[in-house]
Structure 1
């Protein structure tokens, strides 16, 4: 397993999505965890379809609805974070349209959303969701300055 100082970040594409400048993202994500005072060992993003993620949602979470992201923390005990984040490209596209957002911005929002979940942020209550949005916005501004 990689040491916490050199986390492994991988992107897997079961569905096509324009994710440019992946090297920059692989550099930025560890800085997010560092700012949140969390140690990251390994992080895998899997970009998939609505139907693929729906099956995962049913099988592992017993939820029968579409979602844009599911985050699995595979870490053991106090070990550095090892996780898989599944993102529905279909949902991200639909949400970008619905919220009047660009696909690029919405995709990065969801990528950071999953990382923030691993850092302990929740989004079940209105108050938690408000803080999550604030943190997503903060990291989007850091990633896309200006």
Structure 2
């Protein structure tokens, strides 16, 4: 089950459609959908988590806590709406494209994709682009 939670004034306009898109992605990646929580927040909220749990004193657009068991995906995905807005400007794209990229990025991590090396980052970006074309 996919749940959307809000710690900021932002709210998705089509939770059902986004949820179906995520479910389709999970299925296409040969994984099973467990309990996945999206928490939309601001920079301050996500920065506190980054410092407390990851010992990183930086701003970020997404932090995911993966509780998956085998191919059954479970976890909490925190997304800073402020970072997504800034990234959209920096990458010269619209807000919702960037938001959807970040939404699916977290799921792809749960499916086993990494992005620490240049090669892994290229693979991740290609997967993001592929699934963005399906929304």
**TM bracket, shorter-chain basis:** over 0.9
Match of 2:80 among 88, 97, 111: 88
**Aligned residue in 2 for 1:41:** 34
Match of 1:10 among 3, 20, 25: 3
Distance in 2 of aligned mates of 1:117 and 1:79: 12
Q: Which has the larger radius of gyration?
A: 1
Distance in 1 of aligned mates of 2:101 and 2:52: 26
**Aligned residue in 1 for 2:20:** 27
- Structure 1 residue 84: deviation in Å? 0.4
**Aligned residue in 2 for 1:72:** 65
Distance in 1 of aligned mates of 2:70 and 2:120: 24
**Aligned residue in 1 for 2:50:** 57
Unmatched runs of 5 consecutive residues or more in structure 1: 1-7
8 Å Cα contact 2:31-2:71 kept in structure 1: no
**Aligned residue in 1 for 2:89:** 97
**Aligned residue in 2 for 1:5:** none
**Aligned residue in 2 for 1:107:** 99
- Structure 1 residue 22: deviation in Å? 1.1
SS at match of 1:94: helix
SS at match of 1:142: coil
Distance in 2 of aligned mates of 1:78 and 1:100: 37
RMSD, matched Cα: 1.2
Between stretches 35-44 and 12-21, larger displacement belongs to 12-21
Distance in 1 of aligned mates of 2:37 and 2:4: 6
**What is the aligned residue count?**
135
SS at match of 2:134: helix
Unmatched runs of 5 consecutive residues or more in structure 2: none
Distance in 1 of aligned mates of 2:49 and 2:73: 21
- The C-alpha deviation readout for 1:41-67, integer Å capped at 9, x for no partner, is 111000011111111011111111010
